[in-house]
Chains A and B, each alone.
Chain A
């Protein structure tokens, strides 16, 4: 059974009297452990697709399943619980909580998990994870005191700390220079290989596509191409920090 299953998924936004279709009958399966890029021009439905998989939105038609659970049948609290337990997010603008330190930002995701009676990671492990993403010694800095690349590493640690089933990254390199972008991609690839975490990106960035093992192309809300690449075809992570 695939980790993510989309069957005939459509999503239409209403802007006043105007109906804007974002996705039109998308069928897609993503297996656990994949490192997948969703690509396509602006307005093709990439972010909408990610939002549907990430339980941030519900489809107008069709079925979305995550780990076998049909998401459209769940209420808002149940969707929030799935997000806190099974999904990690990485955003283009990093979206760290500005008043919390790097370590506290990571602990925040963990604190939410603990409220559900789950999550056994301790403070030292958060520090270790931050070191693993290359932020040793920067744990107590606030986002405003970190570079864009460092902030994105904190976001990656925040996404991974709860050992999610899937990490959804929306244009994760868009606000980074190429050097930092590459480092971040290598880090995520390393985490994918080391931890087996599933990564799904939406991106315009050719470098992300270069690293991906599967590239799903959207156009006008439809999947127009689905290319799987051999592991060797993608650059191998040379470093983790």
Chain B
């Protein structure tokens, strides 16, 4: 091993407690970055999966003019289901499609009353498109029957169980008040808290007739085949429908869920903030270590200069020590970070312990799993090493520029 590297390693070993504390702080930052990034990415992925699997699908087709009013859940303009659904399913790249009629309502159970979202579905088509049916406790409502399945959290809040009758009040397309007596046939307990909290599912034909929009849907949700570009598919579906003489607008889930997309972008910023905090920890730690080391080794530096070491070489020696500290930190950070992340990926973290039923903006509930993201390791490692070298540079240069004659005075 070259003498300078040996010297750097032994200098680190000489103050091993300080070295351990320094690289420990940097390693901790790296572990923190890996885990926070893993959880945030996991949270994002779960959010997107839950949104796509239980609410929006990959694409949404609306009648022209509906999209801008969608927050109010209007019943018109609506789409003709029978004609449209087959046209949509005929487009290459469409894996499945299902119509939905969505309307606002109030659910009455005894003295309790709660605002809900009514969703009219065709259970068979819906189960091939979204995954609500996989999470039903009880059974799905039958076509034409006055039956409903409701979100499990809502049911628990209102103390409703399967077999109970509830009243739903809403307005028809013409604005007339409509009250629906429906029997609860199932509870929906999905990983998506929005669905669990305020969704009530009825057969599409039951709801359509009750709201005076028979055979119509406010949205057709579409699932794309694997590897399909959603923008491209949206364009193809739009062109196909236009060619078939149906006026409809097609949106990707990102267009329909701008708030969630914005939240995910905010998360990227918070990732940057985490990196900045880690860099700051590393900067302070390494700069402090190098400064102390330079002060303690004042005479040693003077001796090295007397022996003919150039200032740049002395700076190089300190940088070598800083980079070695950084390598220790990166190694330790990777090992601990990988082990902890393996746990997060396999077992996950139950965020309900932190947030309970609180709406934190992400459509997730229960356990959030980490993800492997090798780029984060590379980024964390590079950030650790570069910061170590940068942080050491100024104290090292200051040490190297010391007046050798002054430092050598006994």
Which residues of A are interface residues toward B (Cβ below 8 A)? 47, 51, 54, 56-57, 76-77, 80-85, 87, 89, 91-93, 95-100, 104, 107-109, 111-113, 115, 158, 170-171, 174
Judge whether B10 and A77 touch: CB under 8 Å.
no
Contact A81/B4 with A91-B408, A98-B14, A99-B10 known, Cβ cut-off 8 Å: no
Q: What are 22 A-B residue pairs whose CB atoms fall within 8 Å in the complex?
A: A47-B405, A56-B306, A56-B405, A80-B305, A80-B311, A82-B308, A83-B307, A83-B308, A84-B308, A85-B308, A87-B308, A89-B306, A92-B410, A93-B299, A97-B300, A99-B13, A100-B6, A111-B2, A113-B308, A115-B313, A158-B307, A174-B410
Please provide the chain B residues from 297 to 334 with a CB less than 8 Å away from any CB of chain A in the complex: 299-300, 302-313
> A74–B309 Cα gap in the complex (Å)?
16
Cβ distance A202 to chain B, nearest Cβ, rounded Å: 12
The one of A77, A83, A96, A115 in contact with B306, judged by C-beta atoms closer than 8 angstroms, is A83
Query: Contacts of B403 on A, CB cut-off 8 Å?
Result: 57
Judge whether B303 and A97 touch: CB under 8 Å.
yes
> A98–B410 Cα gap in the complex (Å)?
16
Query: Contacts of A115 on B, CB cut-off 8 Å?
Result: 313
Judge whether B169 is part of the interface by a CB distance below 8 angstroms. no
Cβ distance A209 to chain B, nearest Cβ, rounded Å: 20
Report the nearest A residue to B310, measured CB to CB.
A80
Query: Contacts of B162 on A, CB cut-off 8 Å?
Result: none
Judge whether B288 is part of the interface by a CB distance below 8 angstroms. no
Cβ distance B380 to chain A, nearest Cβ, rounded Å: 31
> A74–B77 Cα gap in the complex (Å)?
87
Judge whether A99 and B7 touch: CB under 8 Å.
yes
Please provide the chain B residues from 352 to 410 with a CB less than 8 Å away from any CB of chain A in the complex: 403-405, 408-410
Please provide the chain B residues from 52 to 95 with a CB less than 8 Å away from any CB of chain A in the complex: none
Judge whether A108 and B404 touch: CB under 8 Å.
no
> A109–B7 Cα gap in the complex (Å)?
13
Query: Contacts of B256 on A, CB cut-off 8 Å?
Result: none
Query: Contacts of B310 on A, CB cut-off 8 Å?
Result: 76-77, 80-81
Judge whether A104 and B6 touch: CB under 8 Å.
yes
Query: Contacts of A57 on B, CB cut-off 8 Å?
Result: 403, 405
Cβ distance B274 to chain A, nearest Cβ, rounded Å: 37
Report the nearest B residue to A92, measured CB to CB.
B410
The one of B13, B308, B405, B410 in contact with A93, judged by C-beta atoms closer than 8 angstroms, is B410
Contact A112/B309 with A92-B410, A98-B14, A104-B3 known, Cβ cut-off 8 Å: yes
Cβ distance B53 to chain A, nearest Cβ, rounded Å: 61
> A113–B309 Cα gap in the complex (Å)?
9
Cβ distance A142 to chain B, nearest Cβ, rounded Å: 9
Please provide the chain B residues from 1 to 27 with a CB less than 8 Å away from any CB of chain A in the complex: 2-4, 6-7, 10-11, 13-14
Judge whether A80 and B309 touch: CB under 8 Å.
yes
> A104–B4 Cα gap in the complex (Å)?
10
Judge whether B3 and A56 touch: CB under 8 Å.
no
Judge whether A56 and B408 touch: CB under 8 Å.
yes
> A91–B407 Cα gap in the complex (Å)?
12
> A166–B161 Cα gap in the complex (Å)?
100
Judge whether B308 and A80 touch: CB under 8 Å.
yes
Judge whether B7 and A100 touch: CB under 8 Å.
yes
Report the nearest A residue to B10, measured CB to CB.
A99
Query: Contacts of A107 on B, CB cut-off 8 Å?
Result: 3
> A91–B306 Cα gap in the complex (Å)?
10
Query: Contacts of B404 on A, CB cut-off 8 Å?
Result: 56
> A85–B309 Cα gap in the complex (Å)?
11
Report the nearest A residue to B12, measured CB to CB.
A99
Query: Contacts of A170 on B, CB cut-off 8 Å?
Result: 408
> A91–B299 Cα gap in the complex (Å)?
11
Report the nearest A residue to B13, measured CB to CB.
A99
Query: Contacts of B309 on A, CB cut-off 8 Å?
Result: 80, 84, 112
